[in-house]
Structure 1
Amino acid sequence: MKTFDHPPRILFLYGSLRERSYSRLLAEEAARIIEGFGAEIKLSKFIKVFTSK
């Protein structure tokens, strides 16, 4: 089994433009918990823009 010299890297995506959305709060809380286990964390907004033709 291959071993790595860095901690696991985890990306949390949330998809709301609201400042206090449940999606964002859940992603932030999950990131805090996983970071406590030593993982490298990144939070990012995932916004899909809908256009009508």
Structure 2
Amino acid sequence: MSKLGKVLLASILMLSGLVVVIESQHKDNEELVQNNHNTDRGIEITLNNNGVGGHT
């Protein structure tokens, strides 16, 4: 295997490892994320009711 091939393989393995770590953290934080989405939705609705952004 060429040097470039080894480097590519190593970086792919590192990236897939990172994805696994991010996924597990994402599952731990799922409730927090859910709450944040609800808050954002409330803010969006408030802005729309105030007519911000030129929407009538």
Tell me, yes or no, whether TM beats 0.5.
no
Q: Which gives a bigger RCO, structure 1 or 2 (Cα 8 Å, sep 6+)?
A: 1
Structure whose alpha-carbon radius of gyration is higher: 2
Give the TM-score of the pair, scaled to structure 2.
Answer: 0.34
More strand by share: 1
Give the TM-score of the pair, scaled to structure 1.
Answer: 0.36
More helix by share: 2
